[in-house]
C-alpha cells in the first residue's frame, strides 16, 4: 500500500498527531457510524485509552480531542479553544455529530487504562455506546499509529482518508502513470528510468492517484499553514500551558538573529523557526504534521531558512516572490513526503512504536531530502541526505517531561533542523555514492525501536521524564 504525501502533511492542531489528531479523527468516524445506525438512541459512551495514550494522553490533550471528534470536529478546522474548553470542563455537554443526541459530559466516560493488553499498536482506543436501557449498541477499537493516521480493528470500522494504491506485485493494478517503489533503492531506479527527480516522480504518482495538480494545491496550503505557524510563534509570548511553566522563547529568538553574514545566522534562523512551530504545537494551536506534531518544527524551519538565508543556493533563477517560493516549497514537500511515506511503510513515524527516532529522525530525514531536492541535488544525493538524517538520530528515545510535548521536544526540533541542513550539505558535497543505504538506515531504525524498552516510547516512564522534576 502506498500512502499519499498529502496524508503526510495534514493541517491540524497540537500538541500531538498520535494523541490529539488521530483520536479526534477516530472518534469522529465512530460517532458518524453511531449517528447513521443508532441516531437518538444513545445514552452513554465509554472510551478506554490504552498504552501510550493512557500514559501521556492527559498532557497530550487526548480527552478534549476525542470529545470534539464525537461532535464531528475535524483537526483542520476545529477551534483549538473549543477543544481546550472540552478538556478543562468549561463545556458541560456535547452534541454528537448528526445533531440528534446531546450528552452531559458525565455520561461520556474517558478512562486511562493502566492494565496491559497486547494490542497490535500501543496507541489503542476502545469506544462503546449504550442505549438508555444499558444495552451496548456499538463497539469499535482503533489504533492511532502516528502522524494523525488511524486504523480500525473492527470489520465495520474505517481507516483514515489516506489514499492508497494497491500493490502490483500482489496481483492488483496501479492507476495509469503510477511508478511503483517499495523501497529507496526502487525509488532511485524509478527516477533513473524516468530520468526525473524525486519530487517529479512523487508528483507523477500523486497525479495518478488523485488527479493532476491536486497534491500541489494541498502542499501550497500546507506551506502557507507552516508559514503562518512560524509567524504566530514569533509573536506569542508568555508561558506554555500544562504546568511545567516553560516560557516561550521564539519571539525573542526571532529578534536576536545574528547579522546576515554572521556565523550563527543559519542556526539562529533555524532555531527560532523550529521553536516557534513547536511552541505553537505545545499550546494546542494550528500546526501541520510533518510527519507528526511532536516533530512538526523541522520541515518548516528548514524551508524558512532556505528562503530567508539560502535563496542564492536554491535551484532557481527566479527572484524571490510568492509564486517562486510556493513552487519551491511544493518541490521540497514532494521530495520530503516521498521519503516520509517510505519510512512510514517500512518502519514507523510513531514515537510510541519506535521512540523519538521515529518522529524527529523521520522529520530530519524528510527535511534533509527536501532541501537537497531544491538545492538541485540528484536523486542519489536526496537519498543520501535522508539516510544521514536518520542515521544520526538512531536510538533517540521519547521521554517527554510531565507527558507534555515540551521538554525535550521543542529544543529537539531546533537541533533536528540544524542536523537536517548539515545532512543535506554533506550529501551535496558527495556524488550520492555512500556506504549505508537509506533502506538499511530505515530498517536499523525499525529494529532499534523494537529493542527499545517501553519506558522510552512516549510513556513518560523513563529518561528525562523521571529525572527532571516537574516543578
Question: Which residues make up the interface to ligand SF4 (CB under 6 A)?
Answer: 294-295, 351, 356, 359-360, 398, 400, 405, 408-409, 412, 458
Q: Decide if 217 contacts 368 (C-beta within 8 A).
A: no
CB 246, min distance to ligand SF4, A: 13
Q: Smaller CB distance to ligand SF4: residue 64 or 291? A: 291
Q: In degrees to the nearest 10, what's the CA dihedral of 3, 76, 148, 184?
A: 30
Q: Smaller CB distance to ligand SF4: residue 140 or 446? A: 446
Angle at 45 between CA 39 and CA 50, to 5 degrees: 135
Identify the residue whose cell numbers are 491540524.
12
Q: Smaller CB distance to ligand SF4: residue 69 or 355? A: 355
Angle at 3 between CA 172 and CA 409, to 5 degrees: 155
CB 403, min distance to ligand SF4, A: 9
Q: Smaller CB distance to ligand SF4: residue 147 or 204? A: 147
Q: Decide if 65 contacts 27 (C-beta within 8 A).
A: yes
Q: Smaller CB distance to ligand SF4: residue 108 or 390? A: 390
Instruction: Name the residue number minimizing CB distance to ligand SF4.
Output: 294
Cα–Cα distance for residue pair 470/463, rounded to 1 Å: 13
CB 165, min distance to ligand SF4, A: 28
CB 303, min distance to ligand SF4, A: 19
Q: Smaller CB distance to ligand SF4: residue 216 or 359? A: 359
CB 84, min distance to ligand SF4, A: 19
CB 56, min distance to ligand SF4, A: 8
Characterize the bridge pairing of strands 136-146 and 149-152: antiparallel
The DSSP code for 13 is E
Residue 236 exposed, middle or buried by CB count within 10 Å (0-12, 13-18, 19+): middle
Residue 388 exposed, middle or buried by CB count within 10 Å (0-12, 13-18, 19+): buried
Neighbours of 333 (CB within 10 A): 33
CB 366, min distance to ligand SF4, A: 14
Q: Smaller CB distance to ligand SF4: residue 53 or 409? A: 409
Closest CA to 370 of 223, 265, 232: 223
Amino acid at each position: 500500500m502506498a500512502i499519499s504525501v498529502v496524508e503526510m502533511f495534514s493541517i491540524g492542531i497540537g500538541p500531538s498527531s498520535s494523541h490529539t489528531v488521530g483520536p479526534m479523527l477516530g472518534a469522529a468516524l465512530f460517532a458518524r457510524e453511531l449517528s447513521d445506525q443508532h441516531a437518538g438512541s444513545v445514552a452513554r459512551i465509554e472510551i478506554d485509552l490504552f498504552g501510550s495514550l493512557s500514559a501521556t494522553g492527559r498532557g497530550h490533550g487526548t480527552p478534549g480531542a476525542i470529545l470534539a471528534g464525537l461532535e464531528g470536529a475535524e483537526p483542520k478546522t476545529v477551534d483549538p479553544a473549543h477543544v481546550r474548553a472540552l478538556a478543562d470542563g468549561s463545556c458541560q455537554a456535547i452534541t454528537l455529530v448528526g445533531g440528534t443526541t446531546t450528552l452531559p459530559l458525565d455520561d461520556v466516560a474517558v478512562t486511562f487504562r493502566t492494565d496491559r493488553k497486547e494490542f497490535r499498536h500501543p496507541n489503542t482506543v476502545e469506544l462503546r455506546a449504550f442505549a438508555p436501557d444499558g444495552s451496548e449498541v456499538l463497539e469499535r477499537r482503533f489504533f492511532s499509529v502516528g502522524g494523525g493516521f488511524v486504523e480500525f480493528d473492527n470489520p465495520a470500522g474505517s481507516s483514515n482518508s489516506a489514499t492508497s494504491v494497491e500493490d502490483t506485485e500482489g496481483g492488483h493494478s496501479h492507476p495509469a502513470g503510477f511508478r511503483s517503489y517499495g523501497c529507496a533503492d526502487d525509488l532511485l531506479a524509478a527516477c533513473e528510468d524516468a530520468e526525473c527527480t524525486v519530487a517529479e516522480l512523487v508528483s507523477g504518482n500523486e497525479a495518478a492517484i488523485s488527479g493532476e495538480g491536486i497534491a500541489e494545491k494541498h502542499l501550497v496550503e500546507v506551506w502557507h499553514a507552516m508559514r503562518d505557524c512560524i509567524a504566530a510563534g514569533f509573536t506569542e509570548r508568555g508561558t506554555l500551558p500544562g504546568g511545567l511553566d516553560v516560557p516561550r522563547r521564539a519571539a525573542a529568538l526571532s529578534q536576536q538573529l545574528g547579522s546576515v553574514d554572521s556565523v550563527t545566522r543559519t542556526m539562529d534562523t533555524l532555531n527560532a523557526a523550529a521553536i516557534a512551530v513547536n511552541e505553537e504545537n505545545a499550546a494546542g494551536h494550528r500546526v501541520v504534521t510533518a510527519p507528526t506534531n511532536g516533530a512538526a518544527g523541522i520541515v518548516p524551519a528548514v524551508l524558512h531558512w532556505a528562503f530567508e538565508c539560502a535563496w542564492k543556493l536554491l535551484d532557481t533563477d527566479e527572484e524571490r516572490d510568492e509564486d517562486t517560493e510556493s513552487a519551491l516549497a511544493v518541490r521540497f514537500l514532494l521530495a520530503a513526503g516521498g521519503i516520509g511515506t517510505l519510512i512510514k511503510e517500512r518502519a514507523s513515524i510513531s514515537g510510541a512504536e519506535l521512540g523519538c527516532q521515529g518522529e524527529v529522525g523521520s522529520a530530519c530525514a524528510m527535511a534533509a531530502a527536501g532541501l537537497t531536492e531544491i538545492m538541485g541535488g540528484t536523486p542519489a544525493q536526496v537519498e543520501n541526505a535522508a539516510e544521514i538524517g536518520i542515521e544520526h538520530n538512531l536510538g533517540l528515545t521519547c521521554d517527554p517531561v510531565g507527558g507534555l510535548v515540551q521538554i525535550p521536544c521543542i529544543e529537539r526540533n531546533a537541533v533536528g533542523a540544524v542536523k537536517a541542513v548539515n545532512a543535506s550539505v554533506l550529501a551535496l558535497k558527495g556524488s550520492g555514492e555512500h556506504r549505508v543505504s537509506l533502506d538499511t538506515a530505515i530498517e536499523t531504525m525499525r529494529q532499534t525501536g523494537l529493542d527499545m524498552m517501553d519506558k522510552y516510547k512516549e510513556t513518560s516512564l523513563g529518561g528525562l521524564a523521571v529525572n527532571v522534576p516537574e516543578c
